[in-house]
Amino acid sequence: MKATYTKYVLKFKQASGTSRGILKTKETWFITIESNNRKGIGECGLFRGLSIDDCPGYENKLNWVCQNINLGLDVLLQELIEYPSIQLGVETAFKSLSTNNPFEIFPSKFSRSEDVIPINGLIWMGTEHFMKQQIAEKIEAGFSCIKMKIGAIDFQTEIDLIKSIRNEFSSKDIELRVDANGAFQPSEALEKLQMLSEFDLHSIEQPIKQGQIEAMASLCEKTPLPIALDEELIGVFYPDEKQKLLETINPQYIILKPSLVGGFSGSNSWITLAESKNINWWITSALESNIGLNAIAQYTYTKRSKLPQGLGTGGLFVNNFESPLQVKKGTLQYNKLGTWKFNM
């Protein structure tokens, strides 16, 4: 068995505003495993400024994995516990190697184009005009669930935007999620949640910055609006740590980004713990290329969540890889007539 890795820089079609600032490019890494004339491909979706494994030794760790690929998946995953994005890439590459089609990671009705995954339409941070334009486009495209990133512009302007949507569309027409990316101060968060709750929102992601465990626990206890933990899960590696976090904060939802929480195995452990405590969840991609998105989408389908998922569209980048993935009427679909073009 032989393994290699390659760096690739994804270029955004237009600069995208996130809680990490304005993104124009995003680097990612691919692991390729070859054995018995077969090939497996996985993406290590490092997210600078957000991933816990955004560290100087990242490429050295990739090199170590390739040199030690014969240790096998289970041993590698243990050795990579603090490198969740590499865990996902390695898991995907091994799964890819084991199937007849290297792009069919989790064979299912979804990968056979027989079923679809409902997803939310994402509204990027920006000016009021830009955000209104995106909202109109998502509704026109048939999305019944929209997620707005808030916390970047004036809060009252954001409230007015949400109000304008609700004046036109009730919660039966459009499910609205908001993501604060930790933008609120603990002292003001409850008041802001009360204002937001007037608009019949589904939930708010990460209202205050992660790591403020007691403040978040208090907020989840008093909130008039369901709270979803997102960044709070990053860097929590071990089962006892995960259990303590969920028991202490007791959120209404958790959001799982496989690239940030330890791949499929890491996501599975969070799901098992959450369900044991009646905490609901959904899965989100984290600006991976279509290689990573494909693996995450196929995994997501097997988990059978009834909620709209936060899976990207693959259409954000000018140099993404051609794939059968497509977004249609608010769902992610696998077009059986589509083809893969991945040359690395």
Q: What is the CATH number of the domain that holds 266?
A: 3.20.20.120
Residues 9 and 151 placed together within one structural domain of the fold: no
Q: Are 317 and 10 in contact (CB under 8 A)?
A: yes
Residues whose CB falls within 8 Å of the CB of residue 165, separated by 6 or more in sequence, listed in order: 135, 146, 174, 176, 199
- H helix runs in the chain, sequence order: 58-67, 73-79, 84-98, 128-140, 155-168, 186-197, 213-222, 239-249, 258-261, 263-276, 290-303
Number of domains within the chain: 2
Are residues 166 and 230 part of one domain? yes
Residues 164 and 283 in one domain: yes
Domain boundary among 98, 128, 154: 98
Comparing 144-158, 272-286, 297-311, the range with the smallest average pLDDT is: 144-158
**Residue 181 CB-density burial (10 A; 0-12 exposed, 13-18 middle, 19+ buried):** buried
pLDDT at 2: 97
Asked whether the predicted pLDDT for residue 17 surpasses 70, the reply is no
Its domain, for residue 212, covers 117-334
**Within this chain, do residues 135 and 191 fall inside the same structural domain, yes or no?**
yes
H/E run at residue 42: strand 38-44
Same domain, 161 and 288: yes
Residues with Cβ within 8 Å of residue 244, at least 6 apart in sequence: none
Query: Percentage of the chain with pLDDT > 70?
Result: 98
Q: 10 Å Cβ neighbour count for 197?
A: 14
18 has pLDDT over 70: no
How does pLDDT run across 195-240, given as a tens digit for each residue? 999 999 999 999 999 999 999 999 999 999 999 999 999 999 999 9
Q: Are residues 141 and 259 in the same domain?
A: yes
Instruction: For residue 111, tell me if it sits in a domain.
Output: no
Q: Are 72 and 253 in contact (CB under 8 A)?
A: no
Tell me the catalytic residues: 149, 257
pLDDT band at 19 (very low <50, low <70, confident <90, very high): low
39 and 185 part of one domain: no
In this structure, what CATH number is given to the domain that contains residue 68? 3.30.390.10
